[in-house]
Amino acid sequence: MHHKSGEYVRGKIHTNTVEGFFGQLKRSINGTHHSISHRHLHRYLAEFDWRYNTRRMTDGARTLATIKAGEGKRLRYSEPT
């Protein structure tokens, strides 16, 4: 997008969408986690992506979708070092 020429929308892509996502990301880090590690950054971003993409769902619908998304998956933990 070319903001200098007044372009802020291209199809379904808006600068407000990106600003809304990053605003929620910053609020979530500051308000919930306070800080995040570089090692697990991809996990935090996946969580915030999920939250943003399900922001219009009710809490109950989001909970059910989360449970269904985990169906057939198994968490494995390595031995502590």
Q: What pLDDT score was predicted for residue 81?
A: 66
Domain membership of residue 7 (yes or no) is yes
Provide the b/e sequence for 7-38 (b: ≥16 CB within 10 Å): eeeeeeeeeeeeeebeeebeebeeeeeeebee
What are 19-51's pLDDT values in tens digits?
888 888 888 888 888 888 899 899 989 988 998
Q: Are 1 and 15 in contact (CB under 8 A)?
A: yes
**CA–CA gap between residue 42 and residue 51 (Å, rounded):** 14
Q: Provide the terminal-to-terminal Cα distance of the chain, rounded to the nearest Å.
A: 48
Q: pTM of the prediction?
A: 0.65
Residue 28 lies in a domain: yes
Please report whether residue 19 resides in a domain.
yes
Inside any domain, residue 66: no
pLDDT at 1: 61
pLDDT of residue 63: 93
| Number of separate domains in the chain | 1
Q: How much of the chain, in percent, has pLDDT values that exceed 70?
A: 94
Q: Taking the CA of residue 41 as centre, how many other CA atoms within 13 Å lie in the half-sphere pointing to its CB? A: 3
The residue range of the domain holding 25 is 1-45
Q: Is residue 62 part of a domain?
A: no
Q: Would you say residue 76 has pLDDT above 70?
A: yes
Query: In this structure, is residue 31 part of a structural domain?
Result: yes
